């Protein structure tokens, strides 16, 4: 929990009173390590030149070989840098030593990095991990990432990513926990506890950074960085709750998003940054811009030039400028001219110094030498957690004829370039992993003792090798095809306009199916895919996402039946791309989708998700019965019996949804309000109780006011958002 003691607050105030204006602005300046020398254009442009063919890969590499990295040592010494992005502990110490021992006031640096789903130990991407519906797991993986990174100097994670995301075309759906505000809020709280909760030693915690504030997940058409227009009620009901939950849980920092919201870029948005975050929620930490975002306000067309963009950002409450040096270059003059009040600067710097104080950086600025190599060899405990997380995140989408689990002794033709990859299993944004730690699916199956032969055949970006396909079709009793996306196909700047299987992989599946052998498809991907054809034609589909370093072990266990799949979808899967955005908790329409033509539906795709939020099969089956809703003074006590009606033990995720049937504004058709995981032996039935506070039955209107309105409510309980038992109840407030 980010909170300062009185003594720490006094120390911050005292320090602030001794700072020059330049030193204050220095704290608001976050530098990236820049590449210098050898060329005359900015590094970003150099990359662009290579991408658009103005220079070749070889020319690029030649230029880079003569370039050097600029760590801004002189500016650090002069007190003009507050934070940097560096991930080498020795380099961090070297720079920290300059800040602490050679700058006038000795204020330590923060080192930030995108530790989205693990540092050295890479866990499943967030959209996958969220599908475990296991907040305790979210906490444990975050805690491990905090410990691993802090011993490498990284004391600030640009995570968790809390963007509610409902359009699978957007590449960044991979980084966040899905489409539902309640699940994302659970994830948010748990991650803050994991990153910041263990303050028993400075080596155990880091400052979290909630991003991207706000509504970035609603970028129009799923195209990255795109504009967002949204009713205030939708903002409050669906996009703000995870941030509010994380602020209440004590998060230390927030990152503003790239997008504009109703015409105002979030970088300079007084309404979201000042009114909501700092004034209404009383967020005590600091806000950082996204990379280069202050400069981008000129491209947005809301600032004539960099100085104006800087003034607008500072005035809106943007405390730290990531990467543009605009504050460093222009804020002093703006303050001297009275265009930015000194109080704005003082407030920002007090917030920044407070986070540094809370991190213990004034007492423990350096990474101890003996800690630096602690995770050189990954401890078994870390691998075990990566395995657990991966196993719990796998979702069984289809299992016709109970092809899965595979039978002992079955000969497997393992197909697909992704099946042998140690790189692609990591997913977008992982930076500090080692290929030697990774277990590919092929290695996982081999280690588990499966009888198999491997046939690459085709990957997301390559042609089909017919000879290999023929051989694969001949060898196995069963074909396991691993298909999907490379890790570069999701994440930032990786939107796709067609979210079917990329390349020739569907054709590959067609050829494999033509053999008449049973075909199991393992999907490795960073977003929901449009699987209409696969769902119709392939008998078994296992959604495996990008599961991190232990992906191969986890997938092998599920395929071979040593682990009964229990993961759920944290995001709806459309049948075809044109259904995007698609989400289960959409507002009601006057003509809810149905069979009739004149309802809200597509002529060629109906209206329902192919696989809805919360969906996931198991090797056993479950049944729900006897739903009871008991009204208590402040809560509804919801109970249901859950039975394992199949032949093996399993874990069912019991999901509680509600609908406000009559309200003063249109409400979602269903909203998740609780869940519980229950382990059941074959034939066993357990009662499950889920409390629902009456105060959670309300909603925000367009003025951002929370309302509790009396009337009829529907309470739903089931194993996914579509198939539920329902009971109606009238509630008076
Ligand atoms: C991304 C952020 C990230 C930042 C720093 C930006 O491009 O949008 O999510 O934290 O870069 O790497």
The 10s digit of each residue's pLDDT in 354-411 is 999 999 999 999 999 999 999 989 999 999 999 999 999 999 999 999 999 999 899 9
DSSP characters for 168-184? TTSGGGGGS--S-HHHH
The alpha carbon of 72 and the centre of ligand 1 are apart by a number of angstroms equal to 20
Q: How high is the mean pLDDT of the chain?
A: 96
Domain boundary among 528, 556, 579: 579
pLDDT at 60: 84
Mean pLDDT of 605-613: 97
Structural domain boundaries enclosing 568:
380-579
Pocket perturbation via mutation, ligand 1, pick of 116, 154, 158, 293 by most ligand atoms within 8 A of CB: 158
391 and 487 part of one domain: yes
The alpha carbon of 605 and the centre of ligand 1 are apart by a number of angstroms equal to 36
Indicate which atom in ligand 1 lies nearest the CA of residue 209: 10
Ligand 1 neighbours, Cβ below 6 Å, are 114, 158, 211, 290-291, 492
DSSP state of 110: E
403 and 465 part of one domain: yes
The alpha carbon of 622 and the centre of ligand 1 are apart by a number of angstroms equal to 42
Q: Is this model's pTM higher than 0.95 or not?
A: yes
Has residue 43 got a pLDDT over 80?
no
pLDDT at 363: 97
The alpha carbon of 557 and the centre of ligand 1 are apart by a number of angstroms equal to 35
Task: Report the alpha-carbon distance of residue 552 to residue 379 in Å, rounded.
Answer: 18
pLDDT at 106: 98
How far CA 509 is from CA of 187, 469, 519, 546, 612, in Å, comes to 35, 10, 8, 20, 24
Asked if residue 589 belongs to a domain, the reply is no
At residue 45 the predicted structure's pLDDT band, cuts being 50, 70 and 90, is confident
Indicate which atom in ligand 1 lies nearest the CA of residue 258: 8
Query: In 3D, which of 609, 610, 589 has the Cα closest to residue 600?
Result: 589
Cβ(181)–Cβ(233) below 8 Å: no
In tens, the pLDDT along 532-547 reads 999 999 999 999 999 9
DSSP state of 606: B
Mean pLDDT of 230-257: 98
What order of strands is seen across the sheet that includes strand 540-543?
395-399, 540-543, 519-524, 478-484, 411-415, 451-455
Residues 290, 319, 321, 437: which is the catalytic one?
Answer: 290
538 and 685 part of one domain: no
Helix, strand, or coil (residue 100): helix
In tens, the pLDDT along 673-684 reads 999 999 999 999
Look at ligand 1, atom 5, and give the residue with the nearest C-alpha: 291
Backbone angles phi, psi at 51, to 5 degrees: -65, -40
391 and 454 part of one domain: yes
517 and 647 part of one domain: no
**CATH code, domain carrying 656:** 2.60.40.10
549 and 685 part of one domain: no
646 and 575 part of one domain: no
At residue 260 the predicted structure's pLDDT band, cuts being 50, 70 and 90, is very high
Asked if residue 114 belongs to a domain, the reply is no
In tens, the pLDDT along 496-529 reads 999 999 999 999 999 999 999 999 999 999 999 9
518 and 437 part of one domain: yes
472 and 550 part of one domain: yes
Per the annotation, the verdict on 290 as an active-site residue is: yes
499 and 643 part of one domain: no
Mean pLDDT of 39-47: 72
At residue 46 the predicted structure's pLDDT band, cuts being 50, 70 and 90, is confident
**CATH code, domain carrying 509:** 3.40.50.1700
- Beta bridge partners, 602, equal 606
Look at ligand 1, atom 4, and give the residue with the nearest C-alpha: 291
What's the total number of domains in the chain? 2
At residue 38 the predicted structure's pLDDT band, cuts being 50, 70 and 90, is low
At residue 51 the predicted structure's pLDDT band, cuts being 50, 70 and 90, is confident
562 and 645 part of one domain: no
The alpha carbon of 246 and the centre of ligand 1 are apart by a number of angstroms equal to 19
pLDDT at 39: 66
Cβ(318)–Cβ(266) below 8 Å: no
497 and 562 part of one domain: yes
Helix, strand, or coil (residue 543): strand
Pocket perturbation via mutation, ligand 1, pick of 290, 296, 428, 432 by most ligand atoms within 8 A of CB: 290
Cβ(456)–Cβ(416) below 8 Å: yes
Indicate which atom in ligand 1 lies nearest the CA of residue 114: 10
Where do the DSSP E strands lie in 443-499? 451-455, 478-484
Asked if residue 485 belongs to a domain, the reply is yes
Cβ(700)–Cβ(654) below 8 Å: no
Domain boundary among 518, 550, 579: 579
Task: Report the alpha-carbon distance of residue 444 to residue 553 in Å, rounded.
Answer: 4
Domain boundary among 579, 611, 631: 579
């Amino acid at each position: 929990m980010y909170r300062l003691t009185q003594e720490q607050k006094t120390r911050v105030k005292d320090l602030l009173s001794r700072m020059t204006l330049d030193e204050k602005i220095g704290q608001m300046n976050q530098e990236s390590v820049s590449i210098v020398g050898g060329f005359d254009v900015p590094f970003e442009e150099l990359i662009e030149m290579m991408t658009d063919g103005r220079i070749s890969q070889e020319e690029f590499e030649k230029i880079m070989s003569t370039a050097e990295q600029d760590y801004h040592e002189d500016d650090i010494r002069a007190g003009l840098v507050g934070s940097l992005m560096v991930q080498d502990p020795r380099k961090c110490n070297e720079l920290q030593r300059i800040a602490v021992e050679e700058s006038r006031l000795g204020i330590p640096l923060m080192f930030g990095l995108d530790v989205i789903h693990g540092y050295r130990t890479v866990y499943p991407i967030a959209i996958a991990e969220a599908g475990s519906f296991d907040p305790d797991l979210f906490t444990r993986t975050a805690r491990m990432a905090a410990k691993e990174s802090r011993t490498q100097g990284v004391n600030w994670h640009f995570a968790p990513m809390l963007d509610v995301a409902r359009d699978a075309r957007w590449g960044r759906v991979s980084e966040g926990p899905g489409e539902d505000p309640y699940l994302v809020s659970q994830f948010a709280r748990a991650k803050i506890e994991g990153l910041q909760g263990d303050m028993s030693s400075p080596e155990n915690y880091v400052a979290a950074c909630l991003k991207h504030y706000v509504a970035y997940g609603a970028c129009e058409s799923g195209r990255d960085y795109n504009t967002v227009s949204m009713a205030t009620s939708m903002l409050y009901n669906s996009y703000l709750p995870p941030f509010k939950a994380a602020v209440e849980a004590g998060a230390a920092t927030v990152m503003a998003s790239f997008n504009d919201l109703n015409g105002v870029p979030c970088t300079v948005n007084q309404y979201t940054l000042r009114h909501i975050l700092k004034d209404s929620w009383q967020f005590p930490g600091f806000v950082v811009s996204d990379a280069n975002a202050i400069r981008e306000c000129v491209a947005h067309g809301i600032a004539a030039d960099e100085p104006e963009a800087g003034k607008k950002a500072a005035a809106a409450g943007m405390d730290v400028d990531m990467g543009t040096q605009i504050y460093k270059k222009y804020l002093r003059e703006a303050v001297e001219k009275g265009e930015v009040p000194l109080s704005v600067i003082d407030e920002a710097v007090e917030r920044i110094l407070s986070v540094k104080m809370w991190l213990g950086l004034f007492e423990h600025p350096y990474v101890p030498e003996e800690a630096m190599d602690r995770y050189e060899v990954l401890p078994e405990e870390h691998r075990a957690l990566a395995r657990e997380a991966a196993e719990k995140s796998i979702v069984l989408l289809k299992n016709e004829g109970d092809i899965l689990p595979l039978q002992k002794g079955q000969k497997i033709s393992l197909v697909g370039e992704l099946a042998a990859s140690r790189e692609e299993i990591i997913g977008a944004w992982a930076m500090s992993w080692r290929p030697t730690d990774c277990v590919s699916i092929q290695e996982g199956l081999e280690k588990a003792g499966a009888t198999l032969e491997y046939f690459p055949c085709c990957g997301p970006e390559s042609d089909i090798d017919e000879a290999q396909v023929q051989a694969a079709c001949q060898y196995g009793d069963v074909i396991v095809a691993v298909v999907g996306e490379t890790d570069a196909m999701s994440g930032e700047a990786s939107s796709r306009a067609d979210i079917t299987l990329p390349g020739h992989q569907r054709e590959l599946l067609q050829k494999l199916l033509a053999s008449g052998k049973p075909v199991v498809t393992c999907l490795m991907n960073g977003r929901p895919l449009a699987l209409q054809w696969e769902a119709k034609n392939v008998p078994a589909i296992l959604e495996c996402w990008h599961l991190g370093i232990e992906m191969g072990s986890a997938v092998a266990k599920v395929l071979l039946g040593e682990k009964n799949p229990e993961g759920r979808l944290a995001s709806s899967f459309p049948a075809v791309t044109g259904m995007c955005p698609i989400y289960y908790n959409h507002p009601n329409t006057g003509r809810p989708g149905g069979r009739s033509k004149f309802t809200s539906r597509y002529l060629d795709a109906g209206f329902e998700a192919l696989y809805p939020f919360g969906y996931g099969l198991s090797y056993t089956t479950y049944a729900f019965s006897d739903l009871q809703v008991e009204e208590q003074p402040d809560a509804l006590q919801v109970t249901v019996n859950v039975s394992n009606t199949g032949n093996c033990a399993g874990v069912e995720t019991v999901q509680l949804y509600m609908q406000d049937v009559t309200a003063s504004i249109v409400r979602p058709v269903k909203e998740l309000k609780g869940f519980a995981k229950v382990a059941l032996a074959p034939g066993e039935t357990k009662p499950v109780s889920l409390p629902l506070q009456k105060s959670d039955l309300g909603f925000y209107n367009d003025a951002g006011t929370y309302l509790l309105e009396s009337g009829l409510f529907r309470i739903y309980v089931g194993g996914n958002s579509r198939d539920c038992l329902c009971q109606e109840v009238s509630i008076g407030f």
